[in-house]
Chains A and B, each alone.
Chain A
Amino acid sequence: MTPAAEVSSRRHVASMCIGGVEFVIGTDDPEVVEAIDAHLGDFGSPDIRSDTGVAATPTVFVVDRIGPSWTIPTWAVTHGGELLFTSSNVQLIVRDLLSEAVRCMRRATTPRTVPVHGAAAVRGHRAVVFCGPTHAGKSTLVAWLVRRGWSFLSDDITLLDTNDEAATVVHPFPQPILVRGGGPIEVILGRTESQALSWIRASTIGSLGRAAPLAVLVFPSYSPTAETQLSPRSAARTLTEVSELLPFVDGDGSDEFRALADVVTRVPSYALPFADLAAASVLLEALVDGLPADGIPTPSEETL
Chain B
Amino acid sequence: MTTPPNPMDRPRRRSAVESVFLAPEVVVWDSYRQRPHHFNPSASAVWMCLDGELTPEEIAAELGEVFQTPPDAILADVHDAIEQFAGLHLLETAHDHDPQSDLVGGSLPILPPPPECQTCGGGTPTVWAGTIDVEAGGYRVAVGYDSDATAAALRVRCAAWSSAEPTGVEPAFGVSAAKVGLRRRQVGVVHHGTAIRHRLESVEAAVEVVGSFLDELSVERPEHQVAVESRVVIRDGRVALLVIPPSTDLDDRPLRRVGISELPTIRPLLDPATGTLTIAGTDHRLERVVVAPAESLDDARRQVFVRGDGPWLQWAEYIDRLGEKLVWRHDASDLTALLDEALSGETPSSPE
Contact = CB atoms under 8 A, between A and B. Distances in A.
Interface of A: 85, 87, 89, 91-92, 95-96, 98-99, 133-135, 156-157, 175, 178, 196-197, 234-237, 239-240, 243-244, 247-249, 252-254, 257-258, 261, 264-265, 304
A104 B222 CA distance: 18
Contacts of A253: 29, 31, 34
B25 A236 contact: yes
Interface in B288-304: 298, 301-302
Given A157-B313, A178-B317, A304-B22, 6 more contacts: A134-B302, A178-B320, A243-B29, A252-B109, A254-B18, A258-B18
A244 B29 contact: no
B22 A235 contact: yes
B29 A254 contact: yes
A24 to B, nearest CB: 21
Interface in B275-328: 298, 301-302, 305, 311-314, 316-317, 319-321, 323
A96 B224 CA distance: 8
Would you call the interface of chain B mostly helix, strand, loop, or mixed? Answer: mixed
A79 B23 CA distance: 47
A92 B273 contact: yes
B148 interface: no
A203 to B, nearest CB: 19
A164 B34 CA distance: 26
A91 B18 contact: no
B204 to A, nearest CB: 36
B338 interface: no
Nearest to B320: A178
B26 interface: yes
Given A96-B311, A156-B316, A196-B323, A236 B302 contact: no
Most-contacted residue by chain A among B37, B273, B319, B321 (CB, 10 A): B273
B22 A239 contact: yes
Contacts of A234: 22, 25
Contacts of A98: 313
A99 B34 contact: no
Contact of B298 (A134, A175, A236): A134
B334 interface: no
Contacts of A85: 223-224
B36 A257 contact: yes
Most-contacted residue by chain B among A95, A247, A265 (CB, 10 A): A95
B329 to A, nearest CB: 19
B250 interface: no
Interface in B22-60: 22-23, 25-27, 29, 31-32, 34-38
Interface of B: 16, 18, 20, 22-23, 25-27, 29, 31-32, 34-38, 109, 223-224, 273-274, 298, 301-302, 305, 311-314, 316-317, 319-321, 323
Given A95-B313, A236-B22, A135 B301 contact: yes
A237 B24 CA distance: 12
A243 B20 CA distance: 13
A236 B38 contact: yes
A239 B20 contact: yes
Q: Which 9 A-B pairs have the closest CB atoms?
A: A252-B31, A257-B29, A236-B25, A240-B38, A247-B312, A261-B20, A236-B22, A235-B22, A243-B36
Contacts of B317: 178
12 contacts: A89-B273, A95-B313, A98-B313, A99-B312, A135-B301, A156-B313, A156-B316, A235-B22, A236-B22, A236-B26, A240-B37, A243-B36
Most-contacted residue by chain A among B29, B38, B311 (CB, 10 A): B29
A87 B298 CA distance: 32
A134 B27 CA distance: 23
A91 B273 CA distance: 9
Contacts of A244: 35-36
A156 B109 CA distance: 29
Nearest to B312: A247
A157 B312 contact: yes
Contacts of B313: 95, 98-99, 156-157, 175
Contacts of B35: 244
